Structure 1
């Protein structure tokens, strides 16, 4: 059964964890990187190169999966690198095909092609078992990767998880709007996160994405799952995290709802919560071993 925690104040959680090991690292995690990892490129036969940054260390490692049209250089991704360096655990962040510093054309990408990117990085670049941390669409990628590579996935942390969101959001549009989009062959989603003020999704992209939806049936994931979502998220409704929690087969699922949290969850206290959640999972997994 999923546990739900509604939090609107950091003070209580901070006091709860103040006696643990993570407080020794908190000044480092939120003040800038000391030793930024080196940018590298993964070459794949007949496929675009993927840009990534990797820090070697202990197991389990941590892999960060960015959101739609995002990249590995955001605040959450960089804070996690600093945290993992401080703790001595391995860490991997990368850009999907067509995003950030990776090769490829964004408009040609699909949910399936980005899933292949994630699986390649898990199979060829990441060492040993991993905790997958997915932000927004990265939360969807995280679930797909955990289903496909259960032996590599030791725990999941979703931040504003957007599982199936693009597909289901289109289906909720008025029928006349959907018909207009289908006639034009694309759907424009207004977004303050896009430089153009909107994301452009083709009907082909949405149709392909349907092949990767996970919320229609039980999700065959049995590792620990932590889902953090803001109640003020105007992009991806928080109830999607609740749906993931309800459908995941894992007996160890927690949902944390932040009253004032927004979609990006990039405020200092949001990042602290993410880091403490991962630290708790590392401690749990290490104790189990």
Structure 2
């Protein structure tokens, strides 16, 4: 485990010897230090005082590689539908282009029209890379009943997109719940998934949050069959989650054992995330078997990570992985 620390963000990088990540953080916290400074030509530049050079390179992209996605994150792309026998049709939008392609996997009850999804689309369009964004079953324009949806069914949605729509190697970008699902996809399709980018990765999140409730509350939820989970992102102030969904989600938990994913992984997390603690990304980095894992923490970012600087970091991270994969291929 290595650290990259600044007043605005911290960068944790694990290579081959990275066991016991969370426990070692205090011991290596001063191994590398960086200061982030505004830059006139770039939105951010990194000045490092240590051995980690990857992030400074990532944040100092060439001018011609910096798209105009922040000024115009929306362009017209027609909605298409993926027909699946005995499963709900999935709404999606796709840009055709070169490999590796990018697939955005949204968060819980989020659709494909969010800030991150649209920004990545503009970025891919500017570079000519293939890109897919979609709605889960029961969400947005896709068919299906949300009350009948489960983590397992949404996992199948992701695999359907990869199997039936994506061509060639893919970089998966997962937000919150999507970060959990992208790992399942990488495990199921190791030949096609060549890199992962998680944003506030909610690995095992639904189950973890439920298990943290008082015993009396859990018994009441089991009896009533519904968990009114508080959320500031819901218009009602709560998400009404079926108890059966929670029990089903237990079958998809990954943190209890080594996670068999070997591709490059980048995990971005806001330290002010009050939904999924940033320590979750550190846990994921510790459990995954890949030796190419970076955790990048933004000190003042929340769960959604949708501010301008957050989106810039996300896009630059994807760009850096594209460069890395191109170098490996060639």
What's the TM-score once normalised by structure 2's chain length?
A: 0.84
8 Å CA contact 2:102, 2:129 repeated in 1: yes
Change (3 A) 1:37 1:210: same
Q: Does 1:276 align with 2:276?
A: no
8 Å CA contact 1:71, 1:96 repeated in 2: yes
8 Å CA contact 2:74, 2:118 repeated in 1: no
Q: Per-residue deviation at 1:30?
A: 0.7
Q: Does 1:83 align with 2:118?
A: no
Q: Does 1:229 align with 2:260?
A: no
Q: 1:282 aligns to what SS in structure 2?
A: helix
Q: Per-residue deviation at 1:38?
A: 2.0
Instruction: Indicate the residue corresponding to 1:136 in structure 2.
Output: 176
CA distance in 2 between partners of 1:97 and 1:108 (Å): 9
Q: Per-residue deviation at 1:133?
A: 0.2
Matched length? 287
Instruction: Indicate the residue corresponding to 2:187 in structure 1.
Output: 147
8 Å CA contact 2:45, 2:60 repeated in 1: no
Q: Per-residue deviation at 1:62?
A: 0.5
Deviation track 1:144-198 (CA, whole Å, cap 9, x = no partner) reads: 1001111111100000000101101111111111111111111111111112111
CA distance in 1 between partners of 2:137 and 2:60 (Å): 42
Instruction: Indicate the residue corresponding to 1:20 in structure 2.
Output: 61
CA distance in 2 between partners of 1:212 and 1:243 (Å): 16
* Equivalences for residues 234-245 of structure 1 within 5 A: 234-245=274-285
8 Å CA contact 1:4, 1:256 repeated in 2: no
CA distance in 1 between partners of 2:216 and 2:210 (Å): 12
Change (3 A) 1:5 1:158: farther
8 Å CA contact 1:232, 1:259 repeated in 2: yes
Relative to its length, the structure with more helix (as a share) is: 1
Change (3 A) 1:231 1:19: closer
* Equivalences for residues 10-89 of structure 1 within 5 A: 11=37, 13-14=44-45, 16-17=56-57, 20-21=61-62, 23-33=63-73, 35-89=75-129
CA distance in 2 between partners of 1:254 and 1:92 (Å): 24
Q: Per-residue deviation at 1:11?
A: 3.0
What's the TM-score once normalised by structure 1's chain length?
A: 0.95
CA distance in 1 between partners of 2:232 and 2:267 (Å): 24
Q: 1:146 aligns to what SS in structure 2?
A: helix
Instruction: Indicate the residue corresponding to 2:288 in structure 1.
Output: 248
Q: Per-residue deviation at 1:26?
A: 3.6
Q: Per-residue deviation at 1:25?
A: 4.7
CA distance in 1 between partners of 2:241 and 2:3 (Å): 33
Across the aligned residues of Structure 1 and Structure 2, the Cα RMSD in angstroms comes to 1.5
Deviation track 1:33-56 (CA, whole Å, cap 9, x = no partner) reads: 464322111111121110000001
Q: Per-residue deviation at 1:233?
A: 0.3
Out of 159, 162, 169, the position equivalent to 1:119 is 159
CA distance in 2 between partners of 1:182 and 1:210 (Å): 15
